[in-house]
Structure 1
Amino acid sequence: MDAVAKNPETEVWKIVGPTHDAFVPLLEARRASIEKVEKKTFRYGTLPRQQANVYYPPPSFGKKPPVLFFVYGGGFVTGARILPAPHSLIYASLGAFFAQRGFLTVIADYRLVPEVGYPAPAEDVRDAVVWVVDNVSTVGSAGIGIEPDTDALFLLGHSVGAVYIVTLMLARELRLSIAGPLLPRIRGVVLSGGCYTYDLGTRLDFQYYGSREKAAEREPLQLLKDAQLLKDAPDNLPEVLLVQAEREPDWAVSSGDKFKAALEARRGREVKRIFGKGHNHISMNVALGSGEGVEWAEEAIEWMKERLL
């Protein structure tokens, strides 16, 4: 975490490379323990990027562990469950971290812009979760006699991954598609460092949404404001935990505050938010498995475990 603390920058494009590089030696020193966690790869669809890695917890946690789906970020246009060397341990360490704490952890790839636009990546997230629910025995038989408890699902999304999860939960066409097979099974949603609203005067990444006008209609904050279901049934969504790095860029701080306020107004109660002390936008996830900066994740795990009681 020393390298993170010494870097005064917060904008993602300025910190992503240096932050990844800073954690490479820390993760390499723990490669054996990271790779010791059993991992299997499955296809949840027919397209090249419709694949997922599953990380299995030790048998000591029981034969039916809860399931955590991690949706990585990448600004719509980049990202992979296995990053190129020398950064290939980054998401493997995250998967191992949560598996070692009792969660069968799934990290799925999804299609990227410009190959696809709205809402295809969110549909891929949905399809990956549905595939695991529908293929319990396949996932279990590939492991060590451990089958996922598909009545105890959690979704953790970072950056644009958080955007895709909110889209899945709130965009009407997607929500209707998960109302039966998924929503009753989801115990909680963890949203980390998402951009929930866009400044149409400055942001240029609207290729995903189709146009600036469509972005204004489809951004997470607007979906939340438009969600009629929350007016009549405020508990009709899974419980939400918000996560934010201590040193997020200004856009993440601003949009996170606005989304939190809007969600609390809808639900009529406070929504918990935790902060990653000393972290920037990128280091939150990269640190997991390094032995440093994991406190936020331990707090999130406790929050999830409370929803299993």
Structure 2
Amino acid sequence: MPLFRLLALPAILLIALLLLVATEYAVARPSRRTADLAYVAATDPAFSPERHRLDVYAPRVKSATARPVVIFIHGGSWTSGNKNFYSFIGRRLARQGIVAVIINYRLAPQAQVPAMADDCARATVWVTQHIAEYGGDPRQLFVMGHSAGGGLAALLATDNRLFARWGLGQNPVRGAILDDPAGLDMYDYLKKMQYSGDEKYLIPFGKDPAVWKAMSPMYYATAASPPFLMFIGGETYPSISYSSEKFRQRLRQLGREPQFTVLPGKKHVPMVLQLYWQNNIIYRELLKMVATQG
């Protein structure tokens, strides 16, 4: 099934997310949200008052030591999505002792994927500089994303140039959690153009194959890449299953075999909705990774 079918998801996903958010405050009070922090200066020519914002969710209970940090990047086919729909993820992570950061980034058609990746990198740089103010440890920084956000999270974990551009000599990402990720190898996907409707992806990715490759995490993974957790829906889109397995094989060749879990019966949207429940397998394995890499 073609990736373009993902473009039909935001409306379905939005309804489900709104229902979750509606009951959120009643069930997740042990966290403190600091909302709408700007991670790009308002004086920057590229500054977007809406999209260059992030929310921090910290546990209310104080800790004698700094806590691990997880940055979550939303999906939406690179054309939609908003951090405000994912407060349940921030609160679930905070409830389990994590300082969570949920970010916005610019979207197509106003921006293309290189700008989105740059936004995610700038948000991460902001976190390294400021998260200690919220009880987080910038030395224990992990990235997580669903769908298009999973592809962007993988790019942050593998493409060190994204951080060198903003003055970080070392990639700060200690591990990546990919939840049904899209876009791991858009170079291969867009070269084939084998499905009707694939031209829609030329809006966020453009028409230059060099850009498709530059925005594909597949080509940046090395033996020095951080650990990956990968969760794939057993009934997700074949394009996601295929590219995820291909990425897994690439990491295996490099001696960086990821933890790869297929969740039977799960489709693409439920792969993120399941994060509403604190005892979800993704949280359980995430906490293990954080403890191991801490």
Q: Which TM class, normalised by the smaller chain length? A: 0.7 to 0.9
Q: CA deviation at 1:305?
A: 2.0
> Superposed, which structure 2 residues align to 1:7-22 within 5 Å?
12-13=6-7, 16-18=10-12, 20-22=14-16
1:143 maps to none
> Superposed, which structure 2 residues align to 1:59-70 within 5 Å?
59=61, 61-70=63-72
Distance 1:216 1:187, change over 3 A: closer
Query: Which structure has more RCO (C-alpha within 8 Å, separation ≥ 6)?
Result: 1
Distance in 2, matches of 1:161 and 1:179, equals: 23
**Contact 1:91-1:286 at 8 Å conserved across structures:** no
TM-score calculated relative to the size of structure 2: 0.81
2:104 maps to 109
Distance 1:70 1:269, change over 3 A: closer
Distance in 1, matches of 2:53 and 2:17, equals: 26
Distance in 2, matches of 1:301 and 1:175, equals: 25
Distance 1:124 1:221, change over 3 A: closer
**Contact 1:246-1:279 at 8 Å conserved across structures:** yes
Distance 1:19 1:210, change over 3 A: closer
**Contact 1:40-1:53 at 8 Å conserved across structures:** yes
SS in 2 for 1:193: strand
Q: Does 1:33 align with 2:19?
A: no
**Contact 1:216-1:222 at 8 Å conserved across structures:** no
1:298 maps to 284
**Contact 1:246-1:280 at 8 Å conserved across structures:** yes
Distance in 2, matches of 1:110 and 1:286, equals: 21
Q: Does 1:72 align with 2:74?
A: yes
Distance in 2, matches of 1:103 and 1:294, equals: 15
2:124 maps to 129
Q: Does 1:272 align with 2:266?
A: no
Question: Deviation string for 1:115-144 (max 9, x for gaps)?
Answer: 11241111111111111221245x33xxxx
SS in 2 for 1:155: strand
Q: CA deviation at 1:105?
A: 0.1
Q: CA deviation at 1:286?
A: 2.1
2:181 maps to 194
Q: CA deviation at 1:165?
A: 2.6
Distance 1:305 1:276, change over 3 A: farther
1:256 maps to 244
> Superposed, which structure 2 residues align to 1:165-244 within 5 Å?
165-171=153-159, 173-174=161-162, 176-177=164-165, 180=168, 183=171, 185-195=172-182, 196-197=184-185, 198-200=189-191, 201=193, 202=195, 203-204=198-199, 205-211=201-207, 213-220=209-216, 222-224=218-220, 230=222, 234=223, 236-244=224-232
Distance in 1, matches of 2:17 and 2:180, equals: 20
Distance in 2, matches of 1:99 and 1:300, equals: 13
Q: Percent identity between the aligned chains?
A: 23
Stretches of 4+ aligned residues off by more than 6 angstroms: none
**Contact 1:157-1:165 at 8 Å conserved across structures:** yes
SS in 2 for 1:237: coil
Q: How much is the aligned-residue C-alpha RMSD, in angstroms?
A: 2.8
SS in 2 for 1:207: helix
Distance in 2, matches of 1:66 and 1:133, equals: 12
**Contact 1:70-1:108 at 8 Å conserved across structures:** yes
Distance in 1, matches of 2:239 and 2:113, equals: 21
TM-score calculated relative to the size of structure 1: 0.78
